[in-house]
Amino acid sequence: MNILQITKDNLPQYANTSVAFDGHIEIEANLGIVYFTSLQAKGHIFTKAGTGIKAGEGIEAGTGIEAGEGIKAGCGIEAGEGIEAGWGIKAGWGIKAGWGIEAGWGIEAGWGIEAGTTISAKLRIFAGLIIWRKPKPEELSITCKRLSGGEVAYGNLIEISKESK
């Protein structure tokens, strides 16, 4: 699969735009938070230590998303496999991963959080944070096979067994 390398030198070409790539996207270390309108890859999205990603319209990867710092999307974050961030993961409407979600300090979603296997955070987990209306029951769900770290501060934890899925 092809790899799009985003470096300090070519960052102005991609920053604050919508990037959709038919392969993997890898972003160089120590760039701070890199802003996109949206970020989409058929493969994985990977940022090295010292770099985080923020997209106003959403972040989506066919396989996994991993950031050395944090991941923040105005809409949703979706990965075919896993999502991992050094400090936090925040999405305006939902976070969904095929196998696991892990964050250094917190996980927050306005709509719901779903992982195929485990969810882990060092501190707290929030789902259904909607300030203009009361959340619907499905917007409060945090669904996984196992919560391996952190506490659910707002939302409803639904731990599922292999048989029920």
pLDDT digits (tens, 9 = 90+) for 19-33: 999 999 999 999 998
Cβ burial of 156 (10 Å; 0-12, 13-18, 19+) is middle
CA angle 22, 44, 86 (to 5 degrees): 145
pLDDT classification of 162: cutoffs 50, 70, 90? low
Across the range 27-49, mean pLDDT stands at 90
pLDDT digits (tens, 9 = 90+) for 126-159: 888 877 888 888 888 998 888 888 899 999 999 8
Residue 119 reports pLDDT greater than 90: no
Residue that is written with structure tokens 């292999």 in the block? 162
DSSP 78: E
DSSP-assigned letters across all residues of 94-154: EEEESSEEEESSEEEESSEEEESSEEEEEEEEEE---SSSPPPGGGGEEEESEEEEEEEEE
SS3 of residue 8 by DSSP = coil
Is 143:113 a contact under the CB 8 Å cutoff?
Answer: yes
